[in-house]
Each structure stands twice: as C-alpha cells, then as structure tokens.
Amino acid sequence: MPYRSTDTTRRKKDAKRTAMMQAAVRVFAEKGYHAATVRDIVREADVAIGTFYFYFPDKETLFIHLFEETASFLLQAIEQAIASRNTLPAQLEAAIQAYVNVAFYEPAVVQLLLVGGVGSVPSLTEKRAEYREKLIRIWQRPLTTALEKNQIEPQNLRRTAEALTGAFDEIIFHVLSSAQTDRERLQAVGDMVQFGLRATGYFYT
C-alpha cells in the first residue's frame, strides 16, 4: 500500500510552512531583501534550516512566492470592498479603508508590496508589473461605472486610475513610515477619498 500522509501530518507541515512565510515577511521588512538570510528566517520561525530547504530551494523563490500571495490578498480585499458599495464615494471609502486596515494590521506585508525587493530581485520585475496592472484595473472599474452614469467628468479613465494608484500607495507608505494615531489614520482615509473624488471630477448630487 502506498504511503499516505495523515491529516495531522499535513497540518503540521502546513503550520511549519506558514510559520516560515510569516517570519520571512517580518525579516524582509526589517532587514531588506539583500541583508536578510535564510538563517534569519529559520531563526525567526523557530524551525530547522533543513525545514526551509524542504519547502523552498532558495531565498529568492520564497520572496517571489510571498510577493504573489501578498498581492493576491490585498487585491482581493480592495476588490471586495468596492463590490460591497454602489456609489463612487462609498466605493472609494470602503476600498481605501480596506487598504489602510491591511496596512496597519500587517504593515510588513504592505511594505513588502510597496518597496520589497525593488531593484534587488530581477525575476520579481514581471510579477510586480502584473500586480500593478491588476491594481490599476481594480481602481478603474468604479470609475467606468461612474462615467457611464454621468457622475464624473469625461476623462481618460486609464490615466486617472494610474494616478490614483500611485497617489494612494504614496500616502499609505508615508502614513506607515510615521507614527500615526487612530484619528490621524481615519483622517488619512477621508483625505484620500476627497482627493480621489476631486481628481475624477465627481458630481455631487
């Protein structure tokens, strides 16, 4: 009879893999890609170095995998927030709040997306471009609906979405990099919403 791993064994393996990935996010965010080592990651995860190589052939492979999972998580959070509202102001507020929530509950995760590996991991260039393209398209969708309803001024929606993507990322990065109170974070969300509405020429009715 061929060997089959038990549910308990699989859960233990999944737990070790998850622990290493969570540890890697923290290590990469703290030290940067180049300075971080496999030994740093296994020490943070409290696993043997052989366990790391059982799951990942090298640091770069782990980093790219982390980036892909992180990107997917944030994109889904923003997309679901937009889908839960019906008007552009409400969609922007919900989506930006979702972004901010992820950023402040998991700052290392968002730092990984914003600056992680920039210029350090050549093989990440394509993955980063794919992520940015998906994010731009997510921001563009509610703008398309608003334009069809004549709620915003005629414009190049692609360019507007690109501008919003860059601006929102820059604000999030700044807020993450400085000490912010809950009130200041809430104000940042409001400021970003108002900026987005002004940038699109939204018609208040």
pLDDT tens digits in sequence order for the chain, 205 residues long: 454 555 565 566 678 888 898 899 889 888 888 888 999 999 999 999 999 999 999 988 998 888 888 889 899 999 999 999 999 999 999 999 999 988 888 777 787 777 766 666 777 888 888 999 999 999 999 999 999 999 999 999 999 999 999 999 999 988 887 766 778 888 899 999 999 999 999 987 6
Query: What is the domain extent for residue 35?
Result: 1-56
> Does a structural domain hold residue 205?
no
Residue 100 and residue 31 in one domain: no
Same domain, 98 and 39: no
DSSP string of 145-161, one letter each residue: HHHHTT-S----HHHHH
Q: Are 67 and 41 contained in the same domain?
A: no
Q: 148 and 109, same structural domain?
A: yes
Q: What is the CATH number of the domain that holds 77?
A: 1.10.357.10
Domain boundary among 10, 34, 56: 56
Whether 91 and 43 share a structural domain: no
Residue 116, number of CB atoms within 10 A of its CB: 23
